[in-house]
Amino acid sequence: MFRNIGPTEIIVIVVILVLIFGAAKLPNIARNVGKSMKVMKEEIKDLREDDKQDSSTSGAQDAPTNDAPTSEKPPSQPSDQSSARPTDWPPRNS
């Protein structure tokens, strides 16, 4: 997708960014984008490590598990029916 970007396209993009955001805000924007990317990379790394730990611990558990639900109550109707009454909000002009 971005393999055909040359120096001319990069210059056009930079000029557009300067026109939109102004030269004073660009360093702050770049800094914030860099911090966000760093946090995202750390989170991805943590997720991959968690997946590796989960796969290694799940291999050690060979005992079958009972995933069938126990006796659950069906969802009940709310006992307070006052919320079901129509309201006069917004007030009607009569």
Chain segment 71-92, per-residue pLDDT in tens? 666 566 655 555 566 666 766 6
Domain presence at residue 92: no
Domain presence at residue 73: no
Domain presence at residue 45: yes
What is the domain extent for residue 38?
23-58
Angle between helices 7-21 and 26-60 in degrees, nearest 10:
110
- pTM of the predicted model over 0.85: no
Domain count, the chain: 1
Chain segment 19-31, per-residue pLDDT in tens? 998 888 888 988 9
Per-residue tokens: 9: 């396209």
Pick 88 or 3 by higher pLDDT: 3
Domain presence at residue 34: yes
Domain presence at residue 29: yes
Domain presence at residue 40: yes
d(C-alpha 31, C-alpha 26), whole Å: 8
